[in-house]
Structure 1
Amino acid sequence: MSDWERSSTARVTAPARARKLAKVPFVELADGRLQGVVSSGSDIGRVYVSSVAVGTYAFACSTNNNRPCGGARGSFCNHILALIGEAVLQYGAERVARYLRVEPADGEPSASTIATGMRSTQPAQGDTKAAAPVFSRFLRHLAYLEFTPDTAPVPEMHWFPTTRAVA
C-alpha cells in the first residue's frame, strides 16, 4: 500500500499559474474529458457546462438548464475555448495536451495550439449527458466556500487555486 493510500488526505497539485475564477470557475480533467463550468458573457445568472472528449475531441456545451449553446454549431464555441485556456492555466499546457492526446502542430503546446490541433480533426458535437454530474460537482464544491475557515485540509478542494490572480 502506497503512502497516499494510507493517508487521509489527497495529494494537492498546485496550479500551473494563477487564474481568474470569474469566467471559468470550475475546470477539471476527469471522466475522459476536459470539462467545466463557464460563465455566460451576456447573462450573469447563466452558466454553461462545456466539455471536450479525450482523443475524439467530441464537444458539448449547454446551459445549466440543458439548453444547447448557440455558438457550438459544428465548431468549438467561445465557452469551450475559454475552458481550454483556463485548463492550461490550472494544469499546464503539456499536461492538458497529454491528457487530451493532442499533438500541437507548432511543437510547444499552448491553449491556442491545443485548440487548433483538436479542430484539425473536425470533431463532432458530442453528448451533453455529462453536463448534470459536472454541474452537480461544481455546486458541491461551491458549498465548501460556506465553511468556517479552518486549517484542516479539504481534499475535494484540490482544484481550487490558492494563489492570487494577477490583474
Structure 2
Amino acid sequence: MGDGALSLRERSSTVRVVPSARPRKLAKVPFVELADERLQGVVSSGSDIGRVYVSSVEAGTYAFSCSTNNNRPCGGARGAFCNHIRALIGEAVLQYGAERVARYLKVEVSGEEAEAHTLTVAMTSTRPAQGDKSAAAQVFSRFLRHLAYLEFTPTTAPLPEMHWFPTTGAVA
C-alpha cells in the first residue's frame, strides 16, 4: 500500500467482525473478548448482584487470573480454574466458536472434539499457574466503556468516539 491507496479498513469508520457463533445470554458473562494474548472478560457473581469478577486465561500457558471488580482475589481460583473462568470459557465458545477459541489460546484439541468442556479439560490438564492480575483494571475499564454506549440515544448520525466500533458481518 505504499502508493497511497487506503484499505477498506482505513477508509471506513467501522470494522467488520465475525458474528456470534451462537446466541448467548449476557446476564452471567456480559463481556468476553479475545485480546492481548488472553481470553478475558467480566463474569457476574452468583451470590451478589453488585459484584462482578474480572477473569482471564493466557494463550499458550493457560495462566489464569480471577478477581472482583475491586481487586479482591476469587476464593475459587486457588490452584485451578474457578467457576467464573469456566463460565468465561463457555461464553467465549458461544461468542467465537470452539475452534477459534482453541486456536487463539493454543489449545490442542481435534476439530470434532472442540467444545467448552473439552477446551477446559485440555487447559487444566497442564496444571496452569496463577497469572498476573494486573490487566484486570484494563479489562474492567473496557467493559464499563462498552456499557456507557448503551446510554446513547439511538441515531444514524456518526459518533466520532465510536469510529473504531465494529459492525456485524463477515471479516473481509
* TM more than 0.5: yes
Q: 1:159 to 1:151 in 2, by over 3 A?
A: closer
Note the alpha carbon deviations across 1:12-65, whole angstroms, 9 max, x for none. Answer: 321111100000000000001000000000000000000000000000000000
Aligned to 1:99: 104
Whether the 8 Å CA contact 1:105–1:113 is kept in 2: the answer is: no
Structure 1 residue matching 2:75: 3-state secondary structure: coil
Aligned to 1:81: 86
Identity percentage over the alignment? 76
Superposed counterparts of 1:1-167, under 5 Å: 1-104=6-109, 107-151=112-156, 154=162, 158=166
Structure 1, unmatched stretches of 5+, are 161-167
CA distance in 1, matches of 2:19, 2:111: 27
Q: 1:82 to 1:3 in 2, by over 3 A?
A: same
Whether the 8 Å CA contact 2:15–2:165 is kept in 1: the answer is: no
CA distance in 2, matches of 1:13, 1:107: 21
Using structure 2 for the length normalisation, give the TM-score. 0.87
Instruction: Provide the aligned C-alpha RMSD in A.
Output: 1.9
CA distance in 2, matches of 1:149, 1:25: 21
